[in-house]
Structure 1
Amino acid sequence: MKPQSAAALAAPFLFLAACDLSPESSHGFRLPDGDAQAGRQVYIDKQCASCHAIEGMEDLRDGVEPEMTVAIGGMTTRVDTYGQFVTSVINPSHKIAQGYRSEEFAEGGVSNMRNYNDVLTVSELIDLVAFLQDRYSEFPDY
């Protein structure tokens, strides 16, 4: 078999191998469309601004002694998929960004972010994700 023919036959298999469809993959994961305005209210009600800063919403931090400041929004190069984005909200220890690995933000590889899984309803999570996703100028197209 000619080398070019072998490469042509192998290409589709290499392409498929690169698509992670394992049980741990976020492929195909999608929450229903949320209400970004309602998500903004969730952000306010759950006092996310005590640790997170969003451009244009600095007033929410007035009079708050921030525990830490983790920026939300702008350009992201750390999140490749919608599934990774949602995971970062509901399981912030899953993947901690390089700039947030100090003890102020994470200890022993575990994020200091409070776990909200027992506090947020599914509807609140859906709306919060819609609100937060709108804060990013460059986000993967899903």
Structure 2
Amino acid sequence: MKNLLFIGLITLVMLLAGCGKGADSPKGFSLPKGNEQNGELVFNKYQCLACHTLEGYNDADLGKVFADPIPLGGTSAKVKTYAQLVTSIINPSHELAPRSHALVPVVDDNGQSKMTVFNDVMTVTEMIDVVAFLQPKYKVKPIQYTNYLQYQVP
């Protein structure tokens, strides 16, 4: 019995070790720290307010692409990580829910984001700077749980 348990444990460890993504693994990927002030300049340079809103920022001279611009920043129960912001810029369709009616104004007929893919437009330095500018604009609000009274048996 002891040997069978040991063999099962070794097999499980070997299976888990084989679950790596190999060459596609994100392990070791890291970008340098961005400059928040330069990120604000990049945000304005690429006219992000044409499609987005950001509290404290307004450009009345800029034509709006959507009737309801997509908000950036704000409060949510989930942390918006550095990696999520980078992914949102380089692959804007990454987290879109297929066939979501709420997304109709911001997706094309193929379900892809209408956001310009900036991979061939924006430099890596500009991208990490705009992420450094945007990340502090996201605030985490802890989820409010309902406190139910426990039933007491008389």
TM-score above 0.5: yes
CA distance in 1, matches of 2:63, 2:23: 41
**Where in structure 2 are the equivalents of 1:1-142 lying within 5 Å?**
1=1, 23-57=23-57, 59-60=58-59, 62-68=60-66, 69-74=69-74, 75=76, 77=78, 79=80, 81-96=81-96, 102-107=103-108, 108-138=110-140
Aligned residue for 1:49, secondary structure, equals: helix
Deviation at 1:52, TM superposition (A): 0.8
Deviation at 1:9, TM superposition (A): 8.2
Aligned positions, number: 134
Change (3 A) 1:30 1:47: same
Aligned 8 A contact 1:21 1:27 in 2? no
Paired AA for residue 71 in structure 2: A
CA distance in 2, matches of 1:110, 1:63: 28
Aligned residue for 1:124, secondary structure, equals: helix
Aligned 8 A contact 1:30 1:83 in 2? no
Return the index of the structure with the highest Cα Rg: 2
Paired AA for residue 53 in structure 2: A
Deviation at 1:119, TM superposition (A): 1.3
TM-score by length of 1: 0.71
User: Which consecutive unaligned segments of at least 5 residues does structure 2 have?
Assistant: 141-154
Deviation at 1:86, TM superposition (A): 0.9
TM-score by length of 2: 0.66
Provide the alpha-carbon RMSD of the alignment.
3.2
Deviation at 1:45, TM superposition (A): 0.8
Paired AA for residue 67 in structure 1: V
Q: Percent identity?
A: 37
User: Which consecutive unaligned segments of at least 5 residues does structure 1 have?
Assistant: none
